[in-house]
Amino acid sequence: MQMATHDEKCDRYNEMQQLTQNKLQVVSDNFHKWFIFNVETAKIVVRQSGGEFYLLPQLAARAPEELKESEVIPVHHCSGWESLQGKMSHFTVKEDEILTAESGQYQILKSLGKGSFATVAKCKKLTTEEVAVKFIRDDMSFAGRREIQVYKKLKKLDPDKCNVVRFIEHFTVNNHVCLAFELLGDSIHDFMTKRNFKPFGVSEIRVVAQQLLVSLNALKSIGLVHADIKPDNIILVNHKAQPLKVKLIDFGMAHMSSDFNNYKIQAIGYRAPEVILGLPLNEAVDMWTLGAVLAFMYTGKHLYPTHSNYEAIRVMVQMQGQPEEHVLDSAKYAESYFTKSNSSPCDVWRLNTSTEYTKITGIETERRSGIYDLFKTLDDLLHYHDAPKDPTELKDTLAFISLLKRMLHMDPTKRITPTEALGHRFITMKHLSRGASNSANISAAQTTGCQMNEAPVERYVTSTETVSSSDGRKEFVSVESKVPSDYQKKITIRMNDGTFPRNVLKRPRLTVKHS
């Protein structure tokens, strides 16, 4: 297929500018808004997706979702983009402004931040409490209405027991859909930023992991997939009063697992391989991103590249191995990232080079350094920090890495489920000796009402869908890992440029007997 050049695409955009006097048809679905100029020929189409506008070539017989990313270009790269924006705008936050909702009035106190879709402000409900109000961009009202439907489904869950944000109400101000939530504290990302990305200890990670696994178990019980878990969307409730008590927020990209085929989800670096490769999607994508978040908490760095799908896949293959043949055979976008080799009796897939990827997709990519350069396997995470001080702490770290490997399995059908993960030894702490006096045993006391054994989650049945009481998987059996025979202590020295040297000091082999 002949790909359009950047100039040709811009020419189409300039042509579109001359067609704006024609009738404008706007077609919306759950995630995109299509602006079609010159409706009779559908000659020029602009797609709005994730807060960006993209210029598409002539649709011909193909549906818009079948177009490759190489065939679209962000229109703000073309001249005259400003004229297309029109009435697109974020809500203007004005301190002390009074907003009127059905249940009462809100006073704006201050802005809390702005994203692609919305602005968030701290507000005070004049009759009761301080809240967080999310103002959806005026051109994204369809997304706001969809998000409201998600929160209505979430009302089936107890927000405190299931560790999800409490939704209060919705209202409209100046054509902006507004969503009011309980006011929480810092996100995991903001919390780490304030302490210069100092990593969490494994005992602290356990507290957060357990709560979020309860969240995923609860979401699965109502057939909902969050689809955008990342450090920004995990919020500390009140770290001073309830250390490490967290809740999951921002369900703007959530899907019903029974109707889930959108591949424009998750941030690169936290994007599951099945999303990149175009495999069937389900709640396993949330388990992957939770694993990536826990790795971020353990290292203070993103485990996977955040700038390129190709680089993310390359690093996954480097650390976790290539997806199995049958997985790639059924992947819609496998041929962008892999090529079937005919050099052996049986056709086998191999990873494309960056040059081959660019030739196939038209997307330029570059290799950037990161902590992933230090790891050949996920087991190498054991060497990232100084060696644990005692065998019990070492055993706890190994248990964490064991869980992480199962959360980051390349095959979503073999990835650990929330129920299985809640029974993993890292969460239950069954691997730790009773009475051991080390930091690994204090995590259960670091948050109020957060049980470290598997937490039961009620299952709900709605009028439109029935949730099975069993997921059909075999019961999880915990298998203890052995300490690597060539255990080494890495000297971790952070350089001024943020990199880490590869100096390694060998130390005597350790033998740990598992109970």
Return the half-sphere exposure (C-beta side, CA atoms, 13 A cut-off) of residue 436: 19
Tokens of 396: 């706890």
| Annotated catalytic residue 228 | yes
Do strands 52-56 and 167-173 pair parallel, antiparallel, or not at all (unpaired)? unpaired
Do strands 118-125 and 130-136 pair parallel, antiparallel, or not at all (unpaired)? antiparallel
DSSP letter at 203 equals H
- 255 with 225: CB under 8 angstroms? yes
C-alpha 101/C-alpha 169 separation (Å) is: 8
| Spatial CA neighbour of 84 closest among 137, 13, 32, 29 | 13
Enumerate the β-bridge partners of residue 121.
111, 133
C-alpha 315/C-alpha 301 separation (Å) is: 14
DSSP letter at 323 equals P
The residue type of 280 is P
Do strands 176-182 and 130-136 pair parallel, antiparallel, or not at all (unpaired)? antiparallel
* Nearest-10 Cα torsion for 207, 208, 212, 214: 10
Residue 192, Ramachandran bin (φ over 0: left; ψ between -120 and 50: alpha; else beta):
alpha
SS3 278: coil
- The 3-state DSSP composition of the chain as helix, strand, coil percent (nearest 5) reads 35, 20, 50
Tokens of 116: 């692609």
| Residue 297: CB atoms within 10 Å | 21
- Residue 192 phi/psi, 5-degree rounding, is -70, -35
Q: Is the dihedral of CA 127, 128, 133, 139 positive or negative?
A: negative
Q: Which candidate in 139, 228, 250, 286 is catalytic?
A: 228
Cβ burial, residue 310 (10 Å; 0-12/13-18/19+): buried
C-alpha 325/C-alpha 347 separation (Å) is: 9
- 499 with 369: CB under 8 angstroms? yes
C-alpha 247/C-alpha 163 separation (Å) is: 5
Is 134 annotated for ligand binding? yes
C-alpha 305/C-alpha 347 separation (Å) is: 29
Tokens of 195: 């302490």
C-alpha 108/C-alpha 124 separation (Å) is: 7
**Binding-site residues:** 134
**Binding-site residues for ATP:** 134
Give the catalytic positions in this structure. 228
